[in-house]
Copies of this chain bind each other. A is one copy, B any other.
Amino acid sequence: MTLQFLGTSSGQPTLERNLSCIALVREGAIYLLDCGEAAQIQFRRAGLRFGRVAGFLITHMHGDHVTVLPGMLMSLQMAGRTEPLLIAGPPGIREFVVETSRLIATGFGFPIDFVESAAAATVLDTPDLVVETAPLEHRVPAMGYRIVERDFPGRFDVEAARALGVAEGPDFGRLQRGESVVAADGTVVTSEQIVGVPRRGKVVAYCTDTRPCDGAVALARDADVLVHECTFLGDREDDAELSGHSTAAQAASVALRAGVRRLIITHFSPRYSDVAPLLAEARTVFPATEAAEELAEYEV
C-alpha cells in the first residue's frame, strides 16, 4: 500500500498546499480519503487513473473535505465507468452527492454504494481489505477510518511437499489451510513443514478532523501508519479545543498511545507556511513522525 497526499491544508488552500485528499493505492486500486478542492488536478499530477478509483472514504461534511467530490464523480463518468463505486462517510454524504448531482444536472452511469455511518462500523469487507470506521470528536460528526489489509498466506513450498511424498491435489489444499496430511510412505507431513509464516497485512488509520480522542487511539491501535490531523502548534491548544482540532503534540500523543509504527501529520492551518515547527513539536512526543508533503508518496 502507498499513501499519496493530494492536499494537506486545512480550511483554505494556500499557494503550496491544497485541501484534504489522500490517495491510498493498493494493488492498483485507489481509495480516496476525503476530496477537497483541486483533488482532481492533483490526482492527475500524481499520475493516477480515474478508472482505478475503487471508492471514497469521507471523514466529515465540511467543505474543505468534500467540495470536489461531484467533480471527481464527473471524471469517473467521463472515463466511462460502469462498475459500482463505494462512497463511505458520515450521515449526509448521500444527500450531498444526490443533491449536488441534481443541482448541476449531472447523472452517473454507475451505481454508487453509499455507506453512511455515525457509529463504529465496517464499511468495506473484501477478501483483501477491511475498512472500519468510528466516530472522532469534531464540531460536526466526523468519522475516522482504519484500513486493514488481510494477512497474506505463507508461501507454499511445492518442492518440499513433493520431496516429502505429498501428492498434488487435495492434500496441498489441506496443508495450505494449516492441516497435516499423510504422505505416500505413511509419514505425517505438517503444514509448518511446507507453508511459510503468513505475512501480516498492513494497517493504516486516518483521523481527521478531530480533537485528540479515544476513538482515534482505538482506530490507530498498532497501525503501521497513522495519518492524523495537525492543525495547530501547541501554543494554540485553546483554538484547537474550540475548533475541534489537534495540535502537533496532541496528534503525536495519539500515535504514542495507539502504539503505531509511524505517524504522518497533515491538515495544517494555512497560517503555517513552514510546517517544520509542527513536525519538531510532534517529534518531541513521537519521534517516528513525518509531515505530509504535497504529492509525496509514502510506502506503508
Binding site for B on A (CB under 8 A): 11-15, 18-19, 37-38, 40-41, 44-45, 61-64, 66-68, 70-71, 74-75, 78, 92, 95-96, 99-100, 103-106, 139-140
Contacts and interface: CB of A to CB of B under 8 A. Distances in A.
Given A15-B45, A61-B104, A62-B105, 6 more contacts: A12-B75, A13-B40, A61-B103, A61-B105, A64-B74, A96-B103
A70 B139 CA distance: 19
10 contacts: A12-B75, A15-B44, A19-B71, A38-B41, A62-B104, A63-B106, A67-B100, A96-B104, A99-B99, A99-B100
B13 A44 contact: yes
A18 B40 CA distance: 10
B64 A41 contact: no
Counted per complex, copies of this chain come to 2
A106 B71 contact: no
Contacts of A96: 100, 103-104
Contact of A71 (B41, B64, B70, B139): B64
A71 B70 CA distance: 13
A67 B66 contact: no
A78 B270 CA distance: 12
Contact of A37 (B15, B37, B61, B78): B37
Contact of A99 (B66, B103, B105): B103
B71 A67 contact: yes
A63 B71 contact: yes
Contacts of A45: 15
Contact of A104 (B37, B66, B68): B66
Contacts of A40: 12-13, 37
A226 B66 CA distance: 34
A106 B19 CA distance: 16
A201 B104 CA distance: 35
Contact of A105 (B15, B68, B140): B140
Nearest to A9: B41
Nearest to A75: B12
B67 A104 contact: yes
A210 to B, nearest CB: 16
A95 B104 CA distance: 11
Contacts of A103: 61, 92, 95-96, 99-100
| Closest 6 A/B residue pairs (Cβ) | A63-B104, A96-B103, A13-B41, A38-B38, A67-B71, A105-B140
Given A15-B44, A78-B11, A71 B104 contact: no
